[in-house]
A and B are shown apart, each in its own frame.
Chain A
Amino acid sequence: MRSAHKFKVYDFTETVPGDSDTPAREQVVAEIVQRLEPFRVDSRPVVGATVITKDLNIDSLAVMDMVMELEDRFDISIPLNDVAEIHTVDELADAVLRKIGGH
């Protein structure tokens, strides 16, 4: 018969956020740029005006995964509904800052 399925014990404490200081815009941009670096085409740097799904070699799934990381990094919710309207790194940074600001 099948190997017994083990139910892991999950530690929910690790998801409780640390400090809640509002980060500076540059910090948010830097966090995004750092996550997009692996998807760079040639040596063109990732900057605020970079159009994420056009200028980079990244698919929509990887974009959604990055958004998930940002949600956890800044303890915010970025719905998929919003992701469709975000094109550039700047727009993503704005969205993150808006969410941190509670809008």
Chain B
Amino acid sequence: MGILDRHLHLLETHRAMQATGADPLVVMERVLSPTEAVINGRRTLLVGTNNYFGLTFDKACIEAAIEATRAEGTGTTGSRTANGTYAQHAALEAEMAEFYGKKHCMVMTTGYQANLGIISTLVGEGDYLVIDADSHASIYDACKQTQATIIRFRHNDPASLEARLRRLKDEPGNKLVVVEGIYSMLGDTAPLKAFVEVTKRYGGYILVDEAHSLGALGERGRGLVEEAGVLDEVDFVVGTFSKTLGAIGGFCVSDVEGFEALRVATRAYMFTASLPPSIVASVRAALKIVRKDGAVLRKRLWDNVATLYDGLAKAGFRLGPEHGPVVAVVMPDQMTTVGVWQALMEAGIYVNVAVPPATPGGLCLLRCSLSAAHSRGQLQHMVEVLAEVGHRFGVLPQERSAAVA
């Protein structure tokens, strides 16, 4: 058996897609703006880039990045625990902590590493890690890196969490519950108030991954923890700089005493190089924008969500359960998903293909994500194109049906 044979089935799935003329592994030949790029030589509307506030081309962020590169160089060439902590890294941590009103913040190189490192370090032998069944890969990978006992509860179901914590109530050891603010595939939000209540009732700690909700939710953009009014009760908030803040990086904020121990215990923090100066500078500039203009950008984002979600619902598509910056369009099977995706590409529209095992419930999805930078016209165009393609592929009935309730 060859060393890569165990992955052959994945390659075969990919090749089957390619054989139909579609290859979801696209190359962005030229990125023109937060909402447009050239792909396969074609000017393409981007509706799947997690660029929620459209800050990737923001002038202030770009200038800050350029200036930091000139001043401090292209990279730090070292770990946060060696030569990779510059004054800017410490300043960003202080600003993030202040933004959340928490005492501590740790900035890491990606959101993936933040989940992987923090979660696997918080719990160890004798502890319990209790996770939502639809958790992101970075959370599942944290499960493999810890000696803790892993228990899974039904997605977004506080009663299912309750049952599990009740069964563990006489066990010694810490219990850490992990949920996400907005789920990345279906765009649904967690019933966080109930999760926090149950967790606290059983003496557990709760960590919330706000990767897709930073900026998008809460009066000041602090995510579902703010929107649900549980910011003070949540023990750890993890997030990313790679979506709303338009760069790359991860963070964790907390009030938990002894938090600083994580800096010398978290392997994904210690054994990788820190963020380059340009990124730290652009993230600081982006955070300033979230704090100053967040309300305007948030309104634009949610107006765009409504245009796309309501437009597609009216056309008759099956969608994720609620309005959100992620709008998932449910397809009947993998071949149709790829076919419709390819037809969209040919019409100059890019969305994400999401198929099992990366999706919950074995669903095949065209995953769209909105940006404050989209114009209403761009999204109305997308609704029209997808409705036409949907009819052509038999995803929608031939006769335009009445709006779904």
B299's contact among A1, A61, A68, by CB below 8 Å, is which? A1
| A-chain residues with CB within 8 Å of residue B302 when the two chains form the complex | 1-2
Min distance, Cβ B215 to any Cβ of chain A, angstroms: 13
| B-chain residues with CB within 8 Å of residue A8 when the two chains form the complex | 191, 194
Give the tally of cross-chain contacts (CB within 8 A).
73
B338 within 8 A of A: no
B159's contact among A2, A11, A79, A80, by CB below 8 Å, is which? A11
B166 within 8 A of A: yes
How many residues does chain A have at the interface if contact means C-beta atoms less than 8 Å apart?
27
**Which one of B75-83, B145-153, B260-268, B342-350 is at the interface?**
B145-153
Chain A 48-89 interface 0/1 with B at a Cβ cutoff of 8 Å (1 = within): 000000000001111011011001100111011100000000
B305 in contact with A2 (CB, 8 Å): yes
| A-chain residues with CB within 8 Å of residue B305 when the two chains form the complex | 2
B154 in contact with A15 (CB, 8 Å): no
B168 within 8 A of A: yes
Most buried by A among B152, B193, B228, B362: B152
B193 in contact with A7 (CB, 8 Å): yes
Identify which of residues 1-59 in chain A touch chain B, using a CB-to-CB cut-off of 8 Å. 1-3, 5, 7-8, 10-12, 14-15, 59
**Is chain B's interface secondary structure helix, strand, loop, or mixed overall?**
helix
A79 in contact with B189 (CB, 8 Å): no
| A-chain residues with CB within 8 Å of residue B357 when the two chains form the complex | 59-61
B375 within 8 A of A: no
A59 in contact with B356 (CB, 8 Å): yes
| A-chain residues with CB within 8 Å of residue B153 when the two chains form the complex | 68
Min distance, Cβ A61 to any Cβ of chain B, angstroms: 6
Min distance, Cβ A3 to any Cβ of chain B, angstroms: 5
| B-chain residues with CB within 8 Å of residue A72 when the two chains form the complex | 160, 163
B163 in contact with A15 (CB, 8 Å): yes
| B-chain residues with CB within 8 Å of residue A75 when the two chains form the complex | 163, 167
Min distance, Cβ B314 to any Cβ of chain A, angstroms: 15
Query: In the docked arrangement, what's the CA distance between A59 and B13, Å?
Result: 15
A12 in contact with B159 (CB, 8 Å): yes
B194 in contact with A15 (CB, 8 Å): no
| A-chain residues with CB within 8 Å of residue B158 when the two chains form the complex | 10, 12
Which partner residue on chain A sits nearest B131 by CB separation? Answer: A80
A2-B323, A79-B151 as given contacts; A15 in contact with B166, CB under 8 Å: yes
B141 within 8 A of A: no
A81's contact among B149, B159, B168, B198, by CB below 8 Å, is which? B149
A15-B163, A68-B154 as given contacts; A5 in contact with B322, CB under 8 Å: yes
B133's contact among A2, A68, A79, A81, by CB below 8 Å, is which? A68
Query: In the docked arrangement, what's the CA distance between A101 and B128, Å?
Result: 20
B42 within 8 A of A: no
B194 in contact with A64 (CB, 8 Å): no
A77 in contact with B151 (CB, 8 Å): yes
B150 in contact with A81 (CB, 8 Å): yes
Query: In the docked arrangement, what's the CA distance between A87 and B315, Å?
Result: 46
B133 in contact with A64 (CB, 8 Å): yes
B162 within 8 A of A: yes
| A-chain residues with CB within 8 Å of residue B164 when the two chains form the complex | 71, 77
Min distance, Cβ A36 to any Cβ of chain B, angstroms: 16
Most buried by A among B191, B193, B198: B191
| B-chain residues with CB within 8 Å of residue A14 when the two chains form the complex | 159
Chain B 306-342 interface 0/1 with A at a Cβ cutoff of 8 Å (1 = within): 1000000000000000111000000000000000000
| A-chain residues with CB within 8 Å of residue B168 when the two chains form the complex | 77
Query: In the docked arrangement, what's the CA distance between A75 and B149, Å?
Result: 17
A5-B322, A15-B162 as given contacts; A10 in contact with B154, CB under 8 Å: no
Which partner residue on chain A sits nearest B150 by CB separation? Answer: A80
9 A-B pairs within 8 Å (CB atoms) are namely A2-B306, A3-B322, A7-B194, A10-B158, A12-B162, A12-B198, A14-B159, A64-B152, A65-B133
Residues of B within 8 A of A (CB): 133, 143, 149-154, 158-160, 162-164, 166-168, 189, 191, 193-194, 198, 227-228, 299, 302-303, 305-306, 322-324, 356-357, 362
Please give 10 more A-B residue pairs, beta carbons under 8 A apart, in addition to A1-B299, A10-B159, A71-B163: A2-B324, A3-B322, A5-B228, A7-B193, A10-B162, A14-B159, A71-B167, A72-B160, A72-B163, A77-B167
